Amino acid sequence: MSLLNVTDLSVSFVTRNGTTQAVQGVNFSVERNSITAIIGESGSGKSVSCYALLGLIPQPPGRIDSGSAEFNGRDLLAMSERELRGIRGSDIAMIFQDPMTCLNPYMRIGEQLIEPLLVHGVADKETAKQRAIDLLDEVGIQNAETAMMAYPFEFSGGMRQRVMIAMALIAEPKLLIADEPTTALDVTIQAQILRLIASLQEKRDIGVLFISHDLAVVSDIADHIVVMEKGLVVEQGAPAKIFTDAEHPYTQKLLAAIPSGKAPESDEVREPLITASNLKTYFQTQSGNEPVKAVDDVSLEIKRGEVLGLVGESGSGKSTFGRSLLRLTPITDGNVTFDGIDVGALGRNDLKVLRRRMQMIFQDPYASLNPRMTVYDTLAEPLLLHNIATRSTLDAAIKSLMNDVGLASAFAKKYPHEFSGGQRQRIAIGRALATKPEFIVADEPVSALDVTIQAQILDLLKDLKDEYGLTMLFVSHDLAVVRQIADRVAVLYRGKLEEVGNTASVFDTPTSDYTQRLLAAIPGKSAA
Amino acid sequence: MIRFILWRLLQAIPVIFIVITATFFLVRSAPGGPFDSEKAVLPEVKRALEAQYKLDLPLHEQYVAYLTDLSQGDLGPSFKYPGRSVNEILGSGLPVTAELGLYALSFALFIGVLAGVFAALKPNTRQDYIPMGLAMIGICMPSFLLGPLLVLVFGIYLDWLPIAGWGDLPGDKILPSITLGSAYAAYIARLSRAGMLEILSQDYIRTARAKGLPEWQVVTQHALRGGLIPVIAFLGPAFAGLLAGSFVVETIFQIPGLGRFYVQAAFNRDYTMILGTTVFLSTLIVFFNLISDVIAAWLNPRLRAQFKGGA
Amino acid sequence: MSTDQMAHLTDAEDGASLWHDAWLRLRKNRAAVTGGAILLVMVVLAILTPWIAPYGYEAQNLDLGATPPSAAHWLGTDIFGRDLLTQILYGGRISLAVGFIATAVALVIGVTWGAIAGYVGGRVDSVMMRFVDILYALPFMIFIILLMVVFGRNILLLFLAIGAVEWLTMARIMRTQVQSLRQQEFVEAAVSLGLSPFAIIFKHIIPNALGPIIVYTTLTIPSVMLLEAFLSFLGLGIQPPQTSWGLLISYGAETMEEYPWLLIFPGMALTVTLFSLNFLGDGLRDALDVRGSKD
């Protein structure tokens, strides 16, 4: 018999604007000593189905319409809140997505860790403390005893996620629900946490329900994969079956969206368009403190017509580097030349002329568009500013621009909030292309998007690159994405350039230690 | 932490200095000397009086003399009550006002926090609308209207409670305390509701629920600590407001406290008294702002750790 | 490049701006709409007072004395036989004028100050905001009283004094807004397009900072009116022969034992107005919350 058996689960949300069916007739199960993964994009209902099991959906507006969830022979959905409380944290525990916000900032780590034991009356305070220390040790926190007295802010994201895992496991649950536990973490940390979860699962013989949007991540650890789309389970089965012989078109789409990692080939020798020499960008935090060396003495050339992938984890200075090239962030030392022009030395008018030739695409399509301007106004601004279009040709120019980025021109008078994330990113790309620039800095342009949308936007960027003859600096933390689009790759680590070279050679024969570690951490190698 | 306190104290010094200086010159620049309006005073008597109050010295020397006296804690003599010093008058009013303020603040905190937390637990239900509606009334019903109305209803029509005095009759402290405290109860209720709602929507509250904590424990152990920080930070400004409110309440209920003395001094143009009271009350307010800031910072572990280094 | 994901945007009609959405949300909020309507009536009455007041402002009838509400005097008369409704209408003119004018003073100073500090940033910002911090720490209620005592009870001075207190919060709000907007990617995008700082402030920053400013303005008016009434009650604000609601309440409180209507009606006028402003402000706050409509 399965550890957890969910049948015909339906959940809806009743709001003022009507009822939305979040989950419809979902069936899946979790076996003892195995990992079941639920895969889906945002809004697929993957999290809702799991939260519903533990009564963690606020009701109203949430409503469980039908279904049963047999856990250890009892139906979770039929339990009273009181009975459920007895199960939460003791028999079924959870880990959440963002370790930065999931720990109480006002309580010591130790206090929070032992809480499940005390609440469920499993142990007294002294035994609980001892067990907490042992567990912290086990999940790889050094100086566990001191850590007990620390507050969450004293730990990094990866460490906090370890604490979260320890907290989930402390009452020896039989089922662990992990909701995107590695999404908020850097790649190398992600790999460590995945390994930790897998090893703890095996050692303790427990069932794990692993929720993720990333097929590659779960391919390494899952025993069973459930694919959800728009509240429905569209396909489920063993990973081998899903990866080799997916039946449902949506699953195939998801698989196709996994960046395959085929690097574009090109060996032409080209002229550098942009050169950064000994570029340093420091941020003064508080007077008296050492400045943060976001970019520390980096020299790099970007050749005309190429896509240079710039990779690094959070805090590596990759975004700051991109902004420094465009003079959006003042540089501390060194210089940047664009087509032989010293960018730092330009006066206001010359800079404006140059701005036309270099543009930026931002990460967050929600924040990068002025919410009070229509698509039309957003696109008209650069066109008029740089006299690319006149009043009379403006309509036609905007229409062709929208067409280029795959937006129907009928939506020109709509506001950003009326579009989806992928559509907004298309608008933002259109704005950047309006001036017909030669060079574009794309700062994590797809990381805020769902996987299938990611693939569409990447394709769009590739097409536009050829159409417009662009040179591009493609900044990303996602190596698989970079591999797909970049001709050459540069790796940044703590503000320093670790390695630069052709995409194929960096990925196949990395020279620096850090690059090797970074590559080893890419999820989904077993599937590729 | 000590560094933080010292840093805030250092900030408070210029404020207090500005208050003293501005008040001094404002009062001295007032049209008409303090003895002008007095019934015909003989010139020599006036001169003697002016000498006694150091009014015959050039302005900057008066200022220096005042600062010198002040540094020894001497607020000078009263113009209107010859023979009594400002210190004495303040000394007699302070305990009364302090007691009134304490009762009012306790009332405000107790009712306000309770109503705010209660409302935040079930937002947009009757449990939220009723206390918040009452809070809105509290904010829109100023003390100078609420006071007379309470007197009218409970003092005159129902005749349950005394309508004036302080400590003379049993129960005569109830109406003034409620009158003074109710607006702050309303503010605190709104603040703690907003604070609690914000905290209750945080991810770590979901973590606490996932651990199987009962709802009341989620609230008391996880939400309250963060949710009430805005209330603590509000206590400093609330103290200043309470002092100002005491002007009205002490006038309505004829309570011999600082507020009433201040208003009387304002009407009598008792300049030394105004000057002294302003300086004294301002210092008090700055001091209480400091305390509430320090407590609010101390409740935040990150800030606490940041300032530990300098201790 | 497909446009199939557009399916849910059915019509090619004009989009709904955030202002439009906010207006729709506000309209659904019954308390805010009622508040707004009452306020509108109050303002219209205040403007038309000289023409619609049933009696002359100075008209006394000492023989009549204080009478309870009647057909001739809807809200009764005071001890000099003056019509209370007329008094309240004239008092409302002053109270509302103080509320609106002093708030306008605060708005102009505060928004300018905050916008400059927030946009320029750096040392200018820290000097400007330190100045605000110091003023903030001053006990202003006491200072206003002091000003009124020293310079006489002048209504112009009252506008200035109250405006001078309230601009501080306005400046802080504006600065926070401008600062956070400056870091938004759409402002950065505007910089990288080559827009001038002037164009960025007017096209990208101000329209997005307007919401909080409107909300806070609506909530400042009642607190200003309260301050005026407070001072007038103590006899330190509006002086006879002018009158205001605070002053009427103060007279009413003196004689409330015999003539309670003299306290209750002016009190109601003030409270209802404050209610309306606060409900309208809260409604605007909910309706204009840009973050709430992001998804």
- The 3-state secondary structure of A48-103 reads HHHHHHCCCCCCCCEEEEEEEEEECCEEHHHCCHHHHHHHECCCEEEECCCHHHHC
Quote the minimal CA–CA distance from B20 to chain C in Å.
11
With a cut of 80, say whether residue A260 has pLDDT above it: no
The answer to whether C186 contacts chain A (CB < 8 Å) is yes
- Tell me the three state secondary structure of residue B113: helix
Q: What is the pLDDT of residue C10?
A: 42
C-alpha span between B159 and B169 (Å, rounded): 13
Quote the minimal CA–CA distance from A112 to chain B in Å.
9
Give the mean pLDDT of A382-386: 91
Q: Phi, psi (5° rounding) for residue A514? A: -65, -45
**Residues of A with Cβ-Cβ distance to C208 under 8 angstroms:** 370-372
Residue in chain A lying closest to B298 (CA): A106
Cβ-proximal residues to C32 (8 Å cutoff; 6+ apart), any chain: C26, C279, C280, C282, C283, C284, C287
Nearest to C146 among B23, B31, B142 (CB): B23
Q: What is the pLDDT of residue A72?
A: 84
C-alpha span between C140 and C166 (Å, rounded): 10
Q: What is the pLDDT of residue C37?
A: 93
- Tell me the three state secondary structure of residue A455: helix
Which of the 8 DSSP states describes residue A243? Answer: H
- Tell me the three state secondary structure of residue A443: strand
Chain A, chain B: beta-carbon pairs less than 8 Å apart: 75
> How many Cα atoms are found within 13 Å in the side-chain-facing hemisphere of A266?
14
Quote the minimal CA–CA distance from A421 to chain B in Å.
23
Confidence of residue B35 (pLDDT cuts 50, 70, 90): low
Confidence of residue A527 (pLDDT cuts 50, 70, 90): very low
Cβ-proximal residues to B160 (8 Å cutoff; 6+ apart), any chain: B154, B171
CA dist list (Å): C84 to A430, B146, B203, C250: 66, 20, 57, 14
Give the mean pLDDT of A84-96: 88
- Which strands sit side by side in the sheet containing A272-283, from one edge to the other? A292-303, A272-283, A333-338, A341-342
**DSSP, residue by residue, A125-175:** HHHHHHHHHHHHHHTT-SSHHHHHTS-GGGS-HHHHHHHHHHHHHTT--SE
Average pLDDT, chain A: 86
CA dist list (Å): C40 to A267, C92, C229: 74, 13, 21
**Residues of A with Cβ-Cβ distance to B202 under 8 angstroms:** 101
Range of lowest pLDDT (A138-152, A392-406, B49-63, B138-152): B49-63
- Tell me the three state secondary structure of residue A16: coil
Burial B161-200 (b: 16+ CB within 10 A, else e): bbbeebeeeeebbbbbbbbbbbbbbbbbbbbbbbbbbebb
Residue C53's nearest CA partner among C78, C79, C83 is: C83
C-alpha span between A491 and A501 (Å, rounded): 9
Q: Phi, psi (5° rounding) for residue A375? A: -55, -45
Quote the minimal CA–CA distance from A168 to chain B in Å.
8
Q: What is the pLDDT of residue A269?
A: 61
**Residues of A with Cβ-Cβ distance to C189 under 8 angstroms:** 360, 362, 368, 428, 431-432
**Residues of A with Cβ-Cβ distance to B214 under 8 angstroms:** 85, 119
Size (chain B), residues: 311
- Tell me the three state secondary structure of residue A426: helix
Q: Answer whether A184's CB lies under 8 Å from A99's CB.
A: yes
**Residues of B with Cβ-Cβ distance to C253 under 8 angstroms:** 144, 147-148, 252
Which of the 8 DSSP states describes residue A384? Answer: H
With a cut of 90, say whether residue A12 has pLDDT above it: no
| B154-172 pLDDT tens trace | 888 888 888 877 877 778 8
**Residues of A with Cβ-Cβ distance to C121 under 8 angstroms:** none
With a cut of 80, say whether residue A109 has pLDDT above it: yes
Give the mean pLDDT of A379-404: 90
C-alpha span between B243 and B90 (Å, rounded): 14
Quote the minimal CA–CA distance from A354 to chain B in Å.
44
In the structure encoding, which two tokens stand for residue A105, read together?
A: 């900032």
Query: Which stretches of chain B sit within 8 Å of chain A by CB?
Result: 202-204, 206-214, 217, 221-222, 225-226, 299-302, 305
C-alpha span between B40 and B30 (Å, rounded): 20
Q: What is the pLDDT of residue C238?
A: 81
**Residues of A with Cβ-Cβ distance to C186 under 8 angstroms:** 367-371
In whole angstroms, how large is the CA radius of gyration of chain C? Answer: 24
Confidence of residue A519 (pLDDT cuts 50, 70, 90): confident
Cβ-proximal residues to C133 (8 Å cutoff; 6+ apart), any chain: B11
In the structure encoding, which two tokens stand for residue B266, read together?
A: 């304002």
Q: What is the pLDDT of residue B107?
A: 93
Q: Chains contacting A with at least 3 CB pairs below 8 Å?
A: B, C
Q: Give pLDDT < 70 ranges for chain C.
A: 1-15, 153, 289-295
Query: Which stretches of chain C sit within 8 Å of chain B by CB?
Result: 133-134, 137-139, 141-143, 145-152, 222, 226, 229-230, 233-236, 246, 249-250, 252-253, 256-257, 260, 263-264, 267, 270-271, 274-275, 278-279
Q: What is the pLDDT of residue B106?
A: 93
With a cut of 50, say whether residue A168 has pLDDT above it: yes
Cross-strand partners of A474: A309, A442
Amino acid residing at C61: N
C-alpha span between B20 and A257 (Å, rounded): 71
- Could you count the other beta carbons within 10 Å of the beta carbon of residue B256? 15
Surface of A (479-498) touching C: CB under 8 A: none
C-alpha span between A96 and B207 (Å, rounded): 8
Q: Answer whether C108's CB lies under 8 Å from C159's CB.
A: no
Q: Chains contacting B with at least 3 CB pairs below 8 Å?
A: A, C
- Tell me the three state secondary structure of residue B37: coil
CA dist list (Å): A477 to A157, A329, C183: 16, 20, 22
Contact between B210 and A105 using a beta-carbon 8 Å cutoff? no
- The 3-state secondary structure of chain C reads CCCHHHCCCCCCCCCCCHHHHHHHHHHHCHHHHHHHHHHHHHHHHHHHHHHHCCCCCCCCCCCCCCCCCCCCCCCCECCCCCEHHHHHHHHHHHHHHHHHHHHHHHHHHHHHHHHHHHHHCHHHHHHHHHHHHHHHHCCHHHHHHHHHHHHCCCHHHHHHHHHHHHHHHHHHHHHHHHHHHHCCHHHHHHHHHCCCHHHHHHHHHHHHHHHHHHHHHHHHHHHHHHHHHHHHHCCCCCCCCCCCHHHHHHHHHHCCCCCCHHHHHHHHHHHHHHHHHHHHHHHHHHHHCCHHHCC
**Residues of B with Cβ-Cβ distance to C146 under 8 angstroms:** 23, 26-27, 266, 274, 278
Contact between C278 and B140 using a beta-carbon 8 Å cutoff? yes
C-alpha span between C97 and C101 (Å, rounded): 6
With a cut of 70, say whether residue A266 has pLDDT above it: no
Quote the minimal CA–CA distance from A283 to chain B in Å.
20
Residue, of A182 and A265, whose pLDDT is higher: A182
CATH of C10-294, one of 3.40.50.720, 3.20.20.10, 3.40.630.150, 1.10.3720.10: 1.10.3720.10
Residue A416's nearest CA partner among C15, B294, B51, C262 is: C15
The full set of domain ranges for chain C reads 10-294
C-alpha span between A276 and A358 (Å, rounded): 15
Q: Answer whether A271's CB lies under 8 Å from A438's CB.
A: no
Give the mean pLDDT of A462-472: 89
Contact between A351 and C9 using a beta-carbon 8 Å cutoff? no
C-alpha span between B105 and B182 (Å, rounded): 9
Surface of A (407-426) touching C: CB under 8 A: 407-408, 410-411, 413-415, 417-420, 422-423
With a cut of 60, say whether residue A295 has pLDDT above it: yes
**Residues of C with Cβ-Cβ distance to B33 under 8 angstroms:** none
Indicate the angle between helix axes C140-151 and B229-252, nearest 10 degrees: 30
Q: What is the pLDDT of residue A489?
A: 92
Range of lowest pLDDT (A167-181, A284-298, B188-202): A284-298
Contact between C193 and A359 using a beta-carbon 8 Å cutoff? yes
Amino acid residing at A110: G
Residue B218 parent element (H or E): none
With a cut of 80, say whether residue A493 has pLDDT above it: yes
Contact between C294 and A410 using a beta-carbon 8 Å cutoff? no
Q: What is the pLDDT of residue B40?
A: 57
Give the mean pLDDT of B95-123: 91
Residue, of A285 and C144, whose pLDDT is higher: C144
Average pLDDT, chain B: 82
C-alpha span between A37 and A210 (Å, rounded): 4
Q: To which residue do tokens 């022979």 refer?
A: A73
With a cut of 80, say whether residue A308 has pLDDT above it: yes
Q: What is the pLDDT of residue B39?
A: 54
State the alpha helices, DSSP H only, in B122-228. 126-140, 143-150, 174-200, 203-210, 215-217, 224-227
Residue, of A290 and B310, whose pLDDT is higher: A290
| A178-193 pLDDT tens trace | 998 888 788 888 888 8
With a cut of 60, say whether residue B194 has pLDDT above it: yes
**Residues of A with Cβ-Cβ distance to B305 under 8 angstroms:** 151, 153-154
With a cut of 70, say whether residue A209 has pLDDT above it: yes
